[in-house]
Structure 1
């Protein structure tokens, strides 16, 4: 049984509710007004099908009904009733969604992306119509409007299938193409409908798929950058991309990212953050593209300089320096650092790489990281120094120089210790490695020379190259070599090139001495007289010129001794050239030939037939392939004929008359054509590698004596003891390479770092 107090409390609450609904009227007239207001409001809010007649209500009456319900504090109950009515009619919207999505998901080969976008566009516009058909109206208050929006959007998102996201993305891409490419027949009418983007906002699609909207813009930027910038390095593209963004993409960005902006300043403020993100993506996409193309950009230098400036600006905005280093190192290893690449091509690419990376990164951190494998590979190539030196003295008009002719000539630079007391001192970049130094050599020549620890190797190679070029001069004009030498003095200093000065002086003195000898006793010989101790070693091949050639040599030597009593000529008879005029019975032949060819044909003045062995015995220690090459040269000229008696003895006969052997000429030419390649032309002056190999053969005697007397020795101990040998200037690495070569020949063996002789 309820207590009297409880019954009184319930009665009071019931009376209070009745008074509120009756609004203090007599009887139940107020309650009747409430019932009528509830019926009008509920009927006004009740959802209807799109095909039903439109609502026809008196606005004043509807507003009055909602006022009555508000005074009675019954709006929450009305809202619950409205939500329940929406829930009961949601199948109408669901049917339309399923119908359109079924049309979208039909697998048709002929359906294009524009057709799929049209289906989704029409669906969005239809959902917007449903929204307006069920909307209660904003004049009824924020509470009802908010509840309607939440419930309507919740139902829409609950019935949309997973495939809708893909279709919505295609619809967004179509709207963006409308701004960037203009109206085209491929763009459907639903995409061009001005109510489309307001519908996105009404349905909550713009907020729900915000990341999808951004991805569409990102992908469109990537496609545009690849289409317009791939392989185009001769003009700056970053500025053009930003202009394209401002003219084409930003107007589209106003739709999703500046909704509700009332002034241009307000829209600019709303786009500031997202615009920065899209500009970052432009720089990142262009940076990725240029990073992939970097190897070819280096090849195309200097035409590709604009693309390098673009990449520099992109790297300042996008931190992808490590990706650039990794990509370049990988491309260099695959396309450059392999045995099939010529050393000159590697050096050319390296020089272009130096110039390109200095544009991108002036401090040189990127160059230091990328160039390290190239420098180590070039250091192991035997002809690297020769190629670098040749580029320093090459003729300016040939176009083969690694050095830009417009660059100022300056001395070689070396890395120096940091001076921390310098007020202009700056710390190393944050991504610099432990071995990096800011004051690395900045000019190309110094960078190339710094591949090796010492410049002495370059000086020796310069001496060899200058000797070859001086001996190749035939007109007596050495001004070009003198000019090259002055340039090299600026780079390497005067002291290391004093030997080259002596070599150049020898050429001018030789011409003066020859003029004096010719004045005393005219001679057909014009030798080049050089100082033996200041010139590189020559190819070791001694021949004895027979007959009148020997007499001409002796006559010239006597006149020289008369002019220079304290000096004596030592002939290098295998070098130079001799102009001959050979008189035969029916013809006269003139030719400029090497001394060996002249010596052989001179012997044919004694008798008409010679064997190869007899000719070599008369001339001196000549290898048989070289002798055959010299003889076959006269066969090609029709002066000699090769004979064989079947006993594997080669004979050569002098042809006094060419007509008697005309039928043999074709056979002779065919026979000699294959044999002319037996011997390759050898350079007059020994290269630095050949000189070093010859010297190491001498030092092998020291090494052999050490290992024989002391047993096994480590490499550093052998190096220490070899330093006492006269003229030894090899590094431990060079000695290690020589010992490895000796091991391959079976002279020594190594175990646990200890070298021993093979007994």
Structure 2
């Protein structure tokens, strides 16, 4: 049961509410007036159906204003607002029907114009249901929130896709020949009215990003000659910024206001443009390096982009992957790899002057080149200006400087800069000349000096005529190389050049005492690299000429003796046959064979080989077939050759079984690898003695003991390679790094 106090309280509140609704009028006349105003207000704010042509008339607003004030004065506006929003939710199916209709049309045609029409239709519903401003901000704000909430609930993925396509259609064309569309400012006002700018901001921005990506790829892909970043920023300023103002800066009153409004979003768009260009150049980096220096513009773009975008790791990964796939494989020529490596050095110096990227990219290339046996020879050939080596690895404009050692940090230098954050604990490559970088592939420059000696010996011995210019050219090369390697390192090369000069002088003296058609190159055996040996003995008049020349030489140099290398050099022959004279410049083996035919017209190949000494059978056959080709000899039967005093008709074809495959010319000087192999054969006796006396030894112990052997200068890696070769021949065995002799 209610208490008297509660009854009194309820009665009091009832009386207050009645007075408020009755407006203190007599009887219930005020209550009747409120009831009429309540009904009119609900009728006025109730959502209309545009499909049936319903709309609010202007004269209705004057009546509704008084009724609305009556409801508000009677404190019934919250209840009215709740009823209005409930009817709004009930009538929203009308909007849904239109949305579904327009989206169905878009799905069929994928034409953004249907999205455009839908947006304007939504504006019509919005305007038709929006309460008048004169009814107050409360009901108006409640409507906006409710309308947008209901609208977002029915706009699915199809609308999002169509909306993005429509936004993309409003962007300016990348084609400079097409005129830009006039901006539809009203449309952007509708977007803001419906709340699309806030809700779909990421969609609008993504459309802008994709447009920028398409423009960058279309205009910059493969265009490496000139930097593109400035033109891209100019395009963005002229084309994209006005479009951005429609979304982000419509309320700007001045240029400064617009700049402030676009500062954040403009930075994001500029970042995305730089990232797109950086990604493009990263994918193209291998071809950009191949095309250098014509691709310098792309490298400057990449440098600018890397300062804006953190893509250094991606660049290193992309370039290393491309190198593994396209460069570091057996099918690539060593010189091509070196050329690409030099181009990589030059390009990455532009992109990253401190050298961090170069260190990370170059490491696999350096390790691969270190494993190739002809790398040193390719580098040295370039240093001495090998005419057959193609394009030079060294830029002629680059100054010739001594080989640089790793720099020590000078912290007192006012231009000193710290290492980049991604440098890691390893010392980065300070800028140095290309040759220093190439030589640094190996741990010591001694390998280069030895290979240089071999190559110089080959080039000097290849000078067959009295060509002073060629010798002078080699002398100039050595003077230049002295700057790089130092005087002491090239003393042997100086001796070789001096031998060439002394040889001409000695030959001139011998010729003055007794003229001879023999013009040997006299060299110092101790200072020249190991020459290819041969057991050829020149027969007949060649032997006589050699002996005569040696006699005159001993008379001039009593303390010296000549040791002939008859397999080297060239012989100019004039063959007097019965019906013709044949002149030819041939190697000594061909000359030795044809000399034997001067005393006997028919020879078997085995007898010829015996007469001139131990000669490889294939080399002998090649030499004999040379005279067959010249029509001087004829092979009557396999292995039997006859001198043709009277020429015969050339055979139309040669027996294919007798064709000797073309052989590469054997250089007169043994290669560095051959010399090392021969040297290690000498030290095998030391190794064999160690393992015999001491039993089993690890590799480092063998290396330590070999250092006491005279002239031993091999590295542990070279010793390991030699021991592995001995293991394959069955001379030694290894287990857990311990080497021992194989029992015989």
The interval holding the TM-score normalised by the smaller chain is: over 0.9
* Structure-2 separation of matches of 1:522 and 1:688: 38
Secondary structure, aligned partner of 1:585:
coil
Range with bigger deviation, 500-509 or 19-28? 19-28
Tell me the equivalent position of 1:578.
571
1:159-238 pair list within 5 angstroms = 159-177=154-172, 194-238=185-229
Residues 278-333 of structure 1: CA distance to partner in whole angstroms, max 9, x if unpaired? 11111111111111111111111111111111111111111111111111111111
Contact 1:180 1:249 in 2 (8 A): no
> Deviation at 1:366?
0.8
Matched, 1:654 2:640: no
Secondary structure, aligned partner of 1:756:
strand
* Structure-1 separation of matches of 2:24 and 2:409: 97
Match of 2:295 among 304, 320, 340: 304
The alpha-carbon distance between structure 1 residues 718 and 145, as it changes in their structure 2 partners (threshold 3 A), is same
Secondary structure, aligned partner of 1:340:
coil
TM-score by length of 2: 0.94
Tell me the equivalent position of 1:38.
38
Matched, 1:57 2:58: yes
The alpha-carbon distance between structure 1 residues 674 and 244, as it changes in their structure 2 partners (threshold 3 A), is farther
* Structure-1 separation of matches of 2:175 and 2:28: 68
The alpha-carbon distance between structure 1 residues 196 and 673, as it changes in their structure 2 partners (threshold 3 A), is farther
Secondary structure, aligned partner of 1:466:
helix
* Structure-2 separation of matches of 1:621 and 1:131: 108
Match of 1:446 among 411, 436, 441: 436
Secondary structure, aligned partner of 1:592:
strand
* Structure-1 separation of matches of 2:695 and 2:731: 14
* Structure-1 separation of matches of 2:732 and 2:299: 53
1:51-450 pair list within 5 angstroms = 51=51, 52-58=53-59, 59-106=61-108, 111=109, 113=110, 115=111, 117-177=112-172, 194-394=185-385, 399-418=390-409, 426-434=417-425, 436-438=426-428, 440=430, 442-450=432-440
Secondary structure, aligned partner of 2:332:
coil
Contact 1:357 1:366 in 2 (8 A): yes
The alpha-carbon distance between structure 1 residues 252 and 371, as it changes in their structure 2 partners (threshold 3 A), is same
Residues 726-753 of structure 1: CA distance to partner in whole angstroms, max 9, x if unpaired? 1110011110011111111111111111
Secondary structure, aligned partner of 1:163:
helix
Runs of at least 4 residues off by over 6 Å: 178-185
> Deviation at 1:38?
3.2
Residues 237-271 of structure 1: CA distance to partner in whole angstroms, max 9, x if unpaired? 12222222222222222223234333332222121
Q: Over aligned residue pairs, what C-alpha RMSD do you find?
A: 2.4
Tell me the equivalent position of 1:666.
652
Match of 1:748 among 726, 732, 740: 732
Secondary structure, aligned partner of 2:552:
helix
Tell me the equivalent position of 1:476.
468
Matched residue count: 738
Contact 2:382 2:389 in 1 (8 A): no
Tell me the equivalent position of 1:460.
450
> Deviation at 1:510?
1.3
The alpha-carbon distance between structure 1 residues 614 and 391, as it changes in their structure 2 partners (threshold 3 A), is same
Range with bigger deviation, 194-203 or 402-411? 194-203
Secondary structure, aligned partner of 1:156:
helix
The alpha-carbon distance between structure 1 residues 529 and 721, as it changes in their structure 2 partners (threshold 3 A), is same
Secondary structure, aligned partner of 1:666:
coil
> Deviation at 1:443?
1.1
* Structure-2 separation of matches of 1:310 and 1:393: 36
Tell me the equivalent position of 2:47.
47
Contact 1:467 1:535 in 2 (8 A): yes
Tell me the equivalent position of 2:547.
554
* Structure-2 separation of matches of 1:441 and 1:738: 37
> Deviation at 1:530?
1.3
In structure 2, the gaps of 5 or more residues are: none
> Deviation at 1:30?
4.4
The alpha-carbon distance between structure 1 residues 141 and 266, as it changes in their structure 2 partners (threshold 3 A), is farther
In structure 1, the gaps of 5 or more residues are: none
Secondary structure, aligned partner of 2:634:
strand
The alpha-carbon distance between structure 1 residues 263 and 142, as it changes in their structure 2 partners (threshold 3 A), is farther
